[in-house]
Amino acid sequence: MDATHKTSCTLSAFSYFKKALTLLKQGENQLALQYIDSAILFSSNCPFYIYQKIKFLVHINPLQCEKYILSQLNFLYRHASLYITCRSLHYYVKLAHSTPEALDSILSHLKLPNILGKHYSALLTQSVASLIPFIEETMVHDALDECIAYCDLVLKVHPTYEEIYYSKGTAYHLLYDLPKAVSCYKKALQLNPPNAMLCNLIGLALMELGQSEEALDYLTQATVLKPDNLDYALHVAECYYSTKKYKEAQVYLEDVRKRFPESLQTVFSLSHTYRIQNRKFLSNHYNRKIRKQLKKQKLISKMKSS
């Protein structure tokens, strides 16, 4: 860049961009590219100017443009809007005459979701909401990595979509990537408090990670929000049990039994908790209650069938 051009611009990304446009119209292509590079360098929104450089290169040097898009595509996916990412991919496919198979290979090499290749063109004209049925479908068919990729595309446009964070967290949970599952669940809870189901899911994942104290906090929140949910209550007892706090588990289960007198699972858990504390009399006492209740249920079942 010569002295005249240096002094004609301030250190403003937009002023560099305007100068680049002027130079492009004047046919000074290489100098225009230097100015757009300066805009990229000085901007806090460099993805926008990277995209502008792509548009410059489409007309100046298509082959160079292909290579530049490939060099920037991963960065754009991480930091640019979904529109800019899809538009850049559209330019690449058009310039390279890329087949779906070749595009799939490129995206895999760049560690980008292959579903981007399936939908980039449609996403330029359709709402990202059109991807939501794919999230549901991939979850049903256990295509969990693909489900996460769809969730990411939606969240690029709607970063406060609580239900998508829940779906993404569920997919990570099923993949047993528990730290990421917890992170997604917590984000969903932050967007939609209070929520007993999310508190319960966070607690269960934390318990599996061995973070029992924090797990107990979330599981307890779930029972406070939904005191009529037996499963949530039993998860609290399980958390006590997992940390060998058998006395606390026993006291809690006695309370659960009063609230849910028909629950066989509660009686069974009490029997086991007493046995592990070597209190065999009480353990046998609850075993007898289980047998009595099972006989009663069988009798009721026979009466209904007759």
Q: Sign of the C-alpha dihedral, residues 87, 184, 192, 164?
A: positive
pLDDT by 10s per residue, the chain, length 306: 443 444 344 568 999 999 999 999 999 999 999 999 999 999 989 999 999 999 999 999 999 999 999 999 999 999 999 999 999 999 999 999 999 999 999 999 999 999 999 999 999 998 899 999 999 999 999 999 999 999 999 999 999 999 999 999 999 999 999 999 999 999 999 999 999 999 999 999 999 999 999 999 999 999 999 999 999 999 999 999 988 999 999 999 999 999 998 888 888 888 888 888 877 767 777 777 777 777 666 654 554 554
Look at residues 209, 200, 207, 251 and name the one whose alpha carbon lies nearest to residue 230: 200
Looking at residue 298, its pLDDT comes to 64
Residue 157 C-alpha from the chain's centroid: 14
Does residue 167 contact residue 135 with C-beta atoms inside 8 Å?
yes
CA quadruple 21, 27, 31, 37: dihedral sign: positive
| Under 8 Å between Cβ of 260 and 230 | yes
Amino acid at 23: L
* Structure-block tokens of residue 296: 């009663």
d(CA 295, CA 144) in angstroms, rounded, equals 43
C-alpha distance from residue 207 to each of 65, 126, 144 (Å): 50, 41, 22
What's the burial of 165, exposed, middle or buried (CB within 10 Å: 0-12/13-18/19+)? buried
Distance CA 47, CA 80 (A): 5
**DSSP-derived secondary structure for the chain:** --HHHHHT--S-HHHHHHHHHHHHHTT-HHHHHHHHHHHHHH-TTHHHHHHHHHHHHHHH-HHHHHHHHHHHHHHHHHHS-HHHHHHHHHHHHHHHT--HHHHHHHHHHTT--THHHHHHHHHTTS-GGGGHHHHHHHHHTT-HHHHHHHHHHHHHH-TT-HHHHHHHHHHHHHTT-HHHHHHHHHHHHHHS-S-HHHHHHHHHHHHHTT-HHHHHHHHHHHHHH-TT-HHHHHHHHHHHHHTT-HHHHHHHHHHHHHH-TT-HHHHHHHHHHHHHTT-HHHHHHHHHHHHHHHHHHHHHHHHHH-
What is the reported pLDDT for 288?
Answer: 79
Rounded distance between C-alpha atoms, residue 280 and residue 274, angstroms: 7
State the Cα–Cα distance between residues 237 and 266, nearest whole angstrom: 9
